[in-house]
């Protein structure tokens, strides 16, 4: 089949790679002039283990599998990464019950190696930490996200696929055997393909609305939640990722490390109406308060506004978190179309098995 993938973020690239490996003729249309300029360049670059997600959800199934597949991929493709491990910390009795529940959910989800340790044991490993207990996740790690996307691009091209940059998809019209894709950009035109996968991230709903005859009732609402990060202007004090217990809309302001060992904090949850990436310095006050619950030694004046990412959510504040939405022909009745909506965290971690599932839908 000739398959067009819309979007060269981590998900679109993983889908295109899986399709190319399965023997399809693949083109990725990307409106920007480079890979990974969207959500995929503005995240925590954490390889999640998968213990948070409710039983039976796509995220519960994909994340633990994606974790294992991603480490294997990194090994075989030379992608920089580190299995640094993570603590989810409890600073009071209520949070202790929460981390016990997370451990139980992790076991159900098939996450291996989860262990509850006491505050003293946690401090032996991370002396700056203040907590009464910690859930240890040894298989959580960090990855060079851009290096991962470059490796996906390499596999796509090695299997005959190609990425067309500066190629915004504007309209999809049904033909006798597939779809006519109309694109704008520097060299506007159209292309006839057998199947289309919409991996347009924050623009997924806009692209779905551009599919002629697509049932509008199958296009979910989009809710945007900005995640702000602050960099730490001192020497890192932790060697593992440190997470508080989750909050509404996110995993809580946590310690993230990059592969150079730098330490930063975030992302928080800021519900927004329009896409935007400025980091309001006044949000630092709430960061100090939240971080000091588990790191009382955080010095005044040490947090510097860094960057922000935007989560493509399907539900808003106070509503239950939505799962990834993967709509194929069985859901919407249009052959040769797969739409992906709401691929927020852990989309990076889940990208490889998610891609396999999507490619299976193309021939189902």
Ligand X SMILES: Cc1cc2nc3c(=O)[nH]c(=O)nc-3n(C[C@H](O)[C@H](O)[C@H](O)COP(=O)(O)OP(=O)(O)OC[C@H]3O[C@@H](n4cnc5c(N)ncnc54)[C@H](O)[C@@H]3O)c2cc1C
Q: What are the counts of helices (DSSP H) followed by strands (DSSP E) for the chain?
A: 9, 21
Q: Which residues pair with 241 in a beta bridge?
A: 86
- Binding segment (CB under 6 A) for ligand X, from list 72-80, 123-131, 195-203, 326-334: 195-203
Asked whether position 161 contacts ligand X by CB under 6 A, the answer is no
What's the Rg (C-alpha) of the chain? 21
Among 17, 24, 31, 264, binds ligand X (CB under 6 A): 31
The yes or no reply on residue 227 touching ligand X (CB under 6 A) is yes
Cβ distance to ligand X smaller for residue 196 or 298: 196
Return d(Cα 94, Cα 245) in angstroms, integer. Answer: 10
Q: Segment near ligand X (CB under 6 A), from 25-33, 79-87, 112-120, 280-288?
A: 25-33
One of 27, 39, 131, 151 touching ligand X (CB under 6 A): 39
Q: What angle separates helix 145-158 from helix 58-77, to the nearest 10 degrees?
A: 80
- 46 contributes a contact to ligand X by CB under 6 A: yes
CA pair distance 241, 258, nearest whole angstrom: 10
Query: Is 9 an interacting residue with respect to ligand X (CB under 6 A)?
Result: yes
The 189-193 sheet, strands edge to edge? 169-174, 179-183, 189-193
Query: At its nearest, how many Å lie between ligand X and the CB of residue 194?
Result: 18
* Alpha-carbon span 203 to 207, nearest angstrom: 6
Q: Which of residues 304-363 bind ligand X (CB under 6 A)?
A: 309-311, 343-349
CB atoms within 10 A of CB 348: 25
Contact mark string toward ligand X, 70..99, x via CB under 6 A:
------------------------------
89, 195, 207, 208: which one binds ligand X (CB under 6 A) = 207
How many residues bind ligand X (CB under 6 A)? The answer is: 40
Q: Which is nearer to ligand X, 96 or 243 (CB)?
A: 243
Single out the segment in contact with ligand X by CB under 6 A; choices: 1-9, 54-62, 87-95, 268-276: 1-9
Burial class (CB in 10 A: 0-12, 13-18, 19+), 324: buried
Name the strand (E) or helix (H) holding 70: helix 58-77
Contact pick of 30, 139, 323, 327 for ligand X (by CB under 6 A): 30
Q: Is the dihedral of CA 91, 97, 100, 105 positive or negative?
A: negative
What's 21's DSSP letter?
A: H
Instruction: List interacting residues with ligand X (CB under 6 A).
Output: 6-12, 29-32, 37-40, 43-46, 48, 168-169, 199-203, 207, 227, 267, 309-311, 343-349
């Amino acid at each position: 089949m000739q398959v067009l993938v819309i979007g060269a973020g981590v998900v679109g690239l993983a889908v295109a790679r899986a399709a190319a490996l399965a023997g399809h003729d693949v083109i990725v249309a990307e409106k920007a002039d480079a890979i990974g300029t969207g959500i995929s360049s503005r995240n925590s670059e954490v390889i999640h283990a998968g213990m948070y997600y409710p039983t039976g959800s796509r995220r519960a199934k994909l994340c633990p599998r994606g974790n294992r597949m991603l480490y294997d991929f990194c090994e075989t493709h030379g992608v920089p990464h580190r299995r640094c491990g993570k603590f989810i910390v409890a600073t009071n009795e209520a949070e202790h019950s929460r981390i016990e529940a997370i451990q139980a959910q992790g076991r159900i989800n098939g996450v291996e190696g989860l262990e509850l340790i006491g505050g003293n044991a946690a401090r032996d490993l991370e002396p700056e930490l203040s907590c009464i207990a910690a859930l240890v996740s040894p298989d959580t790690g960090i990855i060079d996200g851009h290096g991962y996307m470059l490796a996906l691009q390499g596999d796509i091209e090695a299997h005959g696929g190609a990425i067309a940059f500066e190629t915004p998809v504007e309209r999809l019209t049904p033909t006798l055997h597939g779809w006519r894709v109309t694109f704008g950009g520097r060299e506007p035109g159209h292309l006839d393909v057998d199947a289309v996968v919409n991996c347009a991230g924050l623009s997924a709903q806009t692209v779905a609305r551009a599919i002629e005859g697509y049932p509008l009732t199958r296009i979910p609402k989009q809710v945007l939640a900005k995640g702000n990060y602050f960099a730490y202007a001192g020497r890192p004090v932790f060697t593992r990722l440190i997470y508080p217990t989750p909050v509404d809309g996110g995993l809580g302001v946590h310690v993230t490390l990059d592969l150079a060992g730098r330490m930063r904090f975030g992302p928080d949850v800021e519900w927004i109406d329009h896409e935007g990436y400025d980091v309001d310095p006044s949000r630092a006050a709430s960061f100090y308060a939240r971080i000091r619950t588990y790191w009382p030694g955080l010095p005044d004046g040490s947090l510097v506004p860094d960057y922000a990412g935007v989560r493509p959510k399907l539900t808003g504040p106070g509503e239950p978190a939505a799962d990834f939405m993967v709509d194929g022909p069985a859901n919407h009745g249009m052959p040769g179309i797969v739409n992906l909506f709401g691929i927020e965290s852990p989309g990076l971690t889940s990208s490889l098995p998610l891609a396999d599932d999507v490619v299976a839908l193309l021939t189902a």
